[in-house]
Amino acid sequence: MNDVIIRVASESDLDAIMVIEHASFGSTAWPRESMAFELEPNPARHYFVAHDAGTMVGYGGISLVAGHHGDIMTIAIAAEHRGRGLGRRLMNSMLEVAKSQKAAEVFLEVRADNEVAQSLYRSLGFEQIDLRRGYYQPENIDAVIMKLDFTNTDSSGTPGPRVAAAPATGGKSDPLVLGIESSCDETGIGIVRGTTLLANVIASSMDQHARFGGVVPEIAARAHLEALQPAIREALKTAQVSLLDLDAIAVTNGPGLAGALMVGVGAAKALAVATGKPLYAVNHLVGHVGVDVLERGEVQTPTIALLVSGGHTSLLLVRDLLDDVELLGETIDDAAGEAFDKVARLLGLGYPGGPQIDKAAADGNPAAIRFPRGLTLPKDMDKHRYDFSFSGLKTAVARWVEVAESKGEDFSVADVAASFREAVVEVLVGKAVAACQAHNVPRLLLGGGVVANRRLRDVAAARCAESDIELRIPALDLCTDNGAMIAALGAQLVMAGREASSLNFAADSTLPVTQVQSI
């Protein structure tokens, strides 16, 4: 599985970079101060890092003379992560910057004895132009000087090498897109270049909802208003781009809380008018699926997607990300995350409930109490085979606790939490795996905040392994609501050559999942 994210480096990456630098270059490693200097904000320097589940596994940097040429300064991958295509992905990110700044050529030097690296660079379009004898001392190894000429355009007129995420015909390759997400309580601003994540800023109003035990729409909408501008500024700063560099803006226009959606949509329209940039209105749920392009370069289809959060519980059949998304089922009452929040509340645990239940359930026995599994009886299979219901489960837990308390019994909160969690997880995974089997789809993608649940991840992994289903779980900050997924989906639309949305689309709290883009 390839869960590695490529993102722009920052000064706080210095320690982790130096570990790989020393391991890779030994006595010729750059001193810490030199690397620190390289990482300082500087429009002529672009460093990227590769992250695997929070661990730094590689980095690379390019120095650019805008409109002229670029130099690959360094690139290194931690030894145990070589052979995973990370060098290529880092190179692609650096070359994308060079292209966007209209560099005519890019240079690099590589050890003559490093055949693997040379063949990677050749496959990206580099050619040897020189050899410097004994350049690497003290080992006395020659340096091969290579050049990539962007002015050698291919037949499609696209300058430069073919990068991993080949653009769809007719679309712009590697567009720089800013995405705005405001459908629930997270204000998310993401910036991507093609399939490369440059910034993912999230401001959550969760704390303001805590005392109500759930998201309060008016509070969420007001919080979006306050958070949007600073979040946009921060994202632009992180990505080291300006609004004028953008190729497009993308925004969630549904489904979600109407008032919350309207804040994002209004801001996106204003931004599009002010900058003259094309605007893409995209579907939040499809965004959760599209986010996989940031880790894999594409969404492999067909795939079943199980999206579970505080706002939604949906099972999708995705035959094509942009053109064919089918809703197989969804919750007919509470969302899965909402059930966690409500049950946590009645057990006297805090908000949000998911992590609290997870904690309380750690020492509990999941088989202690047999709570109902909603919509799993034979009679439900006709109309509700892939639908979910959690309100009966919540009531059953409330009843059970009431009875125990009225009898004055000293019951175990851990057992109740574990048994409740088991009931939710079994239904979610059971229906998702059944959908994969019934539709002959060997892939399952998870998304939404409930994916943080340890038990859900473990049961999903075990059941998928048994059934030969490939399980995809994006990094957690890409699973919870975020702007990067909206930017990523917007970029896919741009690359596919889709027309921008008009400014007439509206926020639609019940937008169907079949409508990937609103015109």
The neighbour count for residue 315, using CB atoms within 10 Å, is: 25
The tokens of 407 are what? 């009898």
Helix, strand, coil tally for the chain in percent (to 5): 40, 25, 35
- Asked if 448 interacts with ligand KG4 (CB under 6 A), we say yes
Which residue stretch of 110-118, 120-128, 259-267, 306-314 sits at the interface with ligand KG4 (rule: CB under 6 A)?
306-314
With contacts defined by CB under 5 A, how many residues of the chain interact with Zn ion? 2
The item of ligand KG4, Zn ion, none sharing an interface with residue 355, based on CB under 5 to 8 Å by kind, is ligand KG4
Q: In angstroms, rounded to a whole number, what is the distance separating the alpha carbons of residues 403 and 230?
A: 50
Placement of tokens 């006595």 in the chain: 27
- Asked if 355 interacts with ligand KG4 (CB under 6 A), we say yes
The item of Zn ion, ligand KG4, none sharing an interface with residue 310, based on CB under 5 to 8 Å by kind, is ligand KG4
Contact call for residues 439 and 317 (beta carbons, < 8 A): yes
Q: Nearer Cβ to ligand KG4, position 354 or 374?
A: 354
Contact call for residues 221 and 186 (beta carbons, < 8 A): no
Placement of tokens 């709290």 in the chain: 509
Q: In angstroms, rounded to a whole number, what is the distance separating the alpha carbons of residues 414 and 37?
A: 51
Looking at the DSSP bridge assignments, the partners of residue 149 are 105
Which residue stretch of 140-148, 336-344, 392-400, 488-496 sits at the interface with ligand KG4 (rule: CB under 6 A)?
336-344
Q: Nearer Cβ to Zn ion, position 126 or 340?
A: 340
Q: What is the DSSP string of 133-167?
A: EEEETTTTEEEEEEEEETTS--TTS--SPPPSSPP
Among 125, 175, 179, 449, binds ligand KG4 (CB under 6 A): 449
Tell me if residue 201 falls in helix, strand or coil.
strand
- Asked if 352 interacts with ligand KG4 (CB under 6 A), we say yes
Q: Nearer Cβ to ligand KG4, position 17 or 260?
A: 260
- Sheet with 69-77, strands from edge to edge, namely 4-8, 45-52, 55-65, 69-77, 105-111, 141-149, 127-136
Closest distance to Zn ion from the beta carbon of 312 (Å): 6
The tokens of 304 are what? 């079943």
- Asked if 418 interacts with ligand KG4 (CB under 6 A), we say no
- Asked if 252 interacts with Zn ion (CB under 5 A), we say no
Closest distance to ligand KG4 from the beta carbon of 341 (Å): 5
> What residue number has its CB nearest to ligand KG4?
354
Q: Nearer Cβ to Zn ion, position 334 or 481?
A: 481
Q: Residue 272: CA atoms inside 13 Å, Cβ hemisphere, count?
A: 23
Among 452, 457, 506, 509, binds ligand KG4 (CB under 6 A): 452
- The DSSP H or E segment spanning 330 is strand 324-330
- Asked if 181 interacts with ligand KG4 (CB under 6 A), we say no
Q: In angstroms, rounded to a whole number, what is the distance separating the alpha carbons of residues 84 and 336?
A: 35
Closest distance to Zn ion from the beta carbon of 485 (Å): 9
Residues 478-517 close enough to bind Zn ion by CB under 5 A:
481
The item of Zn ion, ligand KG4, none sharing an interface with residue 337, based on CB under 5 to 8 Å by kind, is ligand KG4
Backbone angles phi and psi of 120, in degrees to 5:
-60, -50
Closest distance to Zn ion from the beta carbon of 260 (Å): 12
Q: In angstroms, rounded to a whole number, what is the distance separating the alpha carbons of residues 416 and 401?
A: 8
- Sheet with 313-320, strands from edge to edge, namely 324-330, 313-320, 303-308, 443-447, 470-472
Which residue stretch of 271-279, 293-301, 370-378, 445-453 sits at the interface with ligand KG4 (rule: CB under 6 A)?
445-453
Q: With 0-12 CB in 10 A as exposed, 13-18 as middle and 19+ as buried, what is 114? A: middle
Closest distance to ligand KG4 from the beta carbon of 206 (Å): 8
Q: Residue 407: CA atoms inside 13 Å, Cβ hemisphere, count?
A: 8
- Asked if 334 interacts with ligand KG4 (CB under 6 A), we say no
- Asked if 290 interacts with ligand KG4 (CB under 6 A), we say no
SS3 per-residue string spanning 7-21: EECCHHHHHHHHHHH
Which residue stretch of 15-23, 140-148, 449-457, 490-498 sits at the interface with ligand KG4 (rule: CB under 6 A)?
449-457
- Asked if 353 interacts with ligand KG4 (CB under 6 A), we say yes
Among 247, 292, 334, 358, binds ligand KG4 (CB under 6 A): 358
Using the Cα atoms of residue 337, residue 339, residue 343 and residue 348 in order, give the sign of their dihedral. positive
Q: Nearer Cβ to ligand KG4, position 270 or 362?
A: 362
The item of ligand KG4, Zn ion, none sharing an interface with residue 452, based on CB under 5 to 8 Å by kind, is ligand KG4
- Asked if 426 interacts with Zn ion (CB under 5 A), we say no
Which residue stretch of 85-93, 103-111, 124-132, 352-360 sits at the interface with ligand KG4 (rule: CB under 6 A)?
352-360
The tokens of 467 are what? 């059934």
Q: Residue 186: CA atoms inside 13 Å, Cβ hemisphere, count?
A: 25
- Asked if 309 interacts with Zn ion (CB under 5 A), we say yes
Q: With 0-12 CB in 10 A as exposed, 13-18 as middle and 19+ as buried, what is 449? A: buried
Among 309, 376, 389, 419, binds ligand KG4 (CB under 6 A): 309
Q: Nearer Cβ to Zn ion, position 196 or 309?
A: 309
Closest distance to ligand KG4 from the beta carbon of 16 (Å): 26
With contacts defined by CB under 6 A, how many residues of the chain interact with ligand KG4? 21
Binding site for Zn ion (CB under 5 A): 309, 481
Give the footprint of ligand KG4 on this chain (CB under 6 A). Answer: 184-185, 309-311, 337-338, 340-341, 352-355, 358, 448-450, 452-453, 480-481
